[in-house]
Amino acid sequence: MCEFSLQRINCGQATSVMSSDMANGFDEINIRLAYGMRCIGKCNSAAKTFCAIMNLPPPAKVERCNDILLSILIRVSSESMRNAVEDSVKNNNSNMDITAYFDGNWQKRGHTSLNGVVICYISRD
């Protein structure tokens, strides 16, 4: 995150603006960095390495963003699933008798990964 400062020569008044918006008390760029690292299965040390390579200041503690990310992901996934159910009921002539099949997979074998994916197949018989 950068701070842009403007100082007027005539009156000496200064104005500063941050390059990143605030979200839930954190700079949005830090939340995005934490999310990006989690999506590729990396942690705080990878974020520090990335910032060092890009000649950026070290990130705020990425772990502090986990609670924010969790609440956002729960909200988004719940809304997505609710929309899928509503679409399926609508496409099934308002019949709520719908069967769903679920399957999942982990990023790494042996369930040692924190990242996984779940797929839902919907059958309207």
Question: What ranges in the chain are assigned the alpha helix state H?
Answer: 28-39, 44-53, 66-91
| DSSP code per residue over 36-69 | HHHHTT--HHHHHHHHHHTT-PPPS-GGGGHHHH
Interhelix angle for 66-91 vs 28-39, to 10°? 70
- Give me the phi and psi of 22, to 5 degrees please: -95, 140
For the chain, the straight-line distance linking the first and the last C-alpha, in angstroms and rounded, comes to 53
> When comparing pLDDT for 48 and 21, which is higher?
48
79 has a pLDDT exceeding 90: yes
Q: What is the pLDDT of residues 35-61, one digit of tens each?
A: 888 888 787 888 889 889 988 888 877
Digit-coded pLDDT (tens) for 94-112: 888 888 888 888 777 776 7
Q: Decide: 85 and 13 in contact? Cβ < 8 Å.
A: no
Residue 78: pLDDT band (50, 70, 90) is very high
Give the residue-averaged pLDDT of 67-71.
85
